Amino acid sequence: MTARAVSSQSLEAFDAVDVIRAKRDGGAVPEPALRWMVDAYTRGYVSDAQMSSFAMAVLLNGMERDEIRVLTDAMIASGERMSFAGLGKRTVDKHSTGGVGDKITLPLAPLVASFGVAVPQLSGRGLGHTGGTLDKLESIPGWRAALSNDEMFAQLREVGAVICAAGSGLAPADKKLYALRDVTGTVEAVPLIASSIMSKKIAEGTDALVLDVKFGSGAFMQDIDRARELARTMVALGTDSGVATTALLTDMNTPLGLAIGNANEVRESVEVLAGGGPADVVELTIALAREMLALAGRPDADVEGALADGRAMDAWRALIRAQDGDPDAALPTPRETHTITADRAGVVSRMEALPFGIAAWRLGAGRARAEDAVIHAAGIDLHVKPGDTVSVGQPIFTLLADDAARFDRALDALDGAWSIGDPADATERAPLVRERITA
C-alpha cells in the first residue's frame, strides 16, 4: 500500500478502503497507513462503518507484533501523555482485566504506597457484570473520583496513592474505538484489547505496570491460553515502550472474596487492610503488591507486615481523606435482603463467577448503560466458598437490594450456578495465581 498523490478532492494520504482490504486479505498494514487510519478515525474522516469493518478484519485475521505496537502508539498519540518525572518517587500501577468481586485495587494501592512508592491508579466505572473501582469507592460518603492533574500530582507526593477517574484527554482514539467495538461484536480481539488497555496505561506515564490477567467463567477471557496470549502481548507492548511490565494469570472461575457489589466490597477491603479478610483476597493482594514493589526496586519489602501493623491502613485513610471521603463514615446498607440456605449437607463444590456477577448486577450493583447510576448497597454477600463444609439450613449467600422486586431476576441468574457435593468428591482448590509472565 502506498501513499496516494494528494488530489484536489482529498488531502488525505491514504484510503480507508485500502487499509480495510489489506487487513481483510490477511496482510500486515504498513505503519504510515495504520497511523493515518487511527488519526483519521479520531478526526471523524474515517467513518464508524469503516472502522468497524477494519476492527472485524483484525478480529478475524489478527495483527503482527509490530502492527499492534504501531496501533497502540497511534492511540497514545491521539491524546495527552502524562509524566510523573519530577515526583522524585518511582511510579507503579496495576491493571486488572476485570472479574467478579475484584476489589483488589482498594487494599493494594495504599499497601504499595506505604513503602514510599507512588501508585497513580487511573480507574474506570463498571459496565455489565464486572464492577468498577470508582463505583465501589463512591460508596464512601464524600469521596471524589474526579481530580485535576495538579491534584493528582500533589496527592501522589503527599499520600503516595491516588485512585481517580482517567481524564478524557488520555487516548481519545481508544475511547471512540472501544465504544464502537462494544456494539459491533469486536471486543474480543487480542490485538484490540491489548492496544486499548496499554495505550491508556502508557499514556498515563507510569514507570512500571503489573497486569492481573484473569481467565475463567467470570473473566473476559474464559480460556487460559487466550488469557496467556493477551498477557504476553501486553507485557511486550509495555516493555517496548519503556514501561517495566509483568503479568499474573489469575483464576476467575469463582468470585473473589465473599463480597460482590460496591459498599460491601469496600467493607471487605478494609478488613484486609486491618490484617484480616478472606484468604483469596489477601493472597492476591500480597502477590500483586510483591510484583509491584519488585518492579519499583523494593523486592524485599515486608508486605504482610504492612497489613498486620496498620501502615497500609494509615495510607488508606490518608487516600480517602485526600479525596474528600470520610474513612469513618457508615457505608450504605440495603433496605431488603434475601438469604439462600443449604438444602443438603456436604461440601460446596462450585460457585460460578459469571452468574454471581450477573445476579449482583441485576440487584442494582452494576449498570446496563454508561449513564445509569449504581445502587451502592446492592450486591451479594457469600457466606461460604467452594471447599467449605455446610449443614442443612446453613446460609450460603445473601442477596442485597433496595427493592425486593429485584430478587427473582437475580435468583434466575443463579439457577444452577452453585452446588453442594459429597465430602468424598471434594477436590483441592486450584491455585489462584496460575502463571507469571515477564518480558
181 is catalytic: yes
Q: Does 14 bind ligand URA (CB under 6 A)?
A: no
* Interface with ligand URA, residue 318, by CB under 6 A: no
Which of 37, 106, 147, 197 touches ligand URA by CB under 6 A? 197
- 121 scored as a contact of ligand URA (CB under 6 A): no
Q: Is 178 in the site for ligand URA (CB under 6 A)?
A: yes
- Chain-centroid distance, C-alpha 355: 18
> How far is residue 39 from each of residues 13, 174, 237, 281, 328, measured CA to CA in Å?
11, 11, 20, 41, 47
Q: Applying CB under 6 A, which of residues 163, 193, 282, 353 lies at the interface with ligand URA?
A: 193
Of 57-65, 155-163, 190-198, 311-319, the segment contacting ligand URA by CB under 6 A is 190-198
Q: Does 143 help bind ligand URA (rule: CB under 6 A)? A: no
Nearer to ligand URA, 192 or 258 (CB): 192
The interface region with ligand URA, picked from 191-199, 267-275, 321-329, 378-386 by CB under 6 A, is 191-199
Query: Which residue is nearest to ligand URA, using beta carbons?
Result: 196
Grid cell 507485557 — which residue? 235
Residue 200 annotated among the catalytic residues of the structure:
yes
Residue 215 near ligand URA by CB under 6 A: no
174 noted as active-site residue: yes
Residue with Cβ nearer ligand URA (225 or 415):
225
**Between β-strands 389-390 and 418-421, what pairing exists: parallel, antiparallel or unpaired?**
unpaired
Write down the least CB distance from residue 141 to ligand URA, Å: 29
DSSP-H helix ranges across 140-223: 149-158, 172-182, 190-203
Q: Is 133 in the site for ligand URA (CB under 6 A)?
A: no
**What sign has the CA pseudo-torsion 409, 410, 413, 417?**
negative
Nearest-5° Cα angle at 181, 175 to 185: 165
**Whole-number minimum distance, CB 38 to ligand URA, in Å?**
15
Among residues 414, 321, 334, the alpha carbon closest in space to that of 374 is found at: 334
Q: Which of 295, 125, 100, 87 is nearest to 211 (CA)?
A: 295
Q: Is 95 marked active-site?
A: yes
Cα–Cα distance between 135 and 152 in angstroms, integer?
Answer: 19
Q: Is 434 a catalytic residue?
A: no
Residue 135 CB neighbour total at 10 angstroms: 23
126 versus 364: smaller Cβ distance to ligand URA:
126
Helix (H/G/I), strand (E/B), else coil: 392: coil
**DSSP code for 370:** T
Binding site for ligand URA (CB under 6 A): 178, 192-193, 196-197
Q: Which residues are catalytic?
A: 95, 174, 181, 196, 200
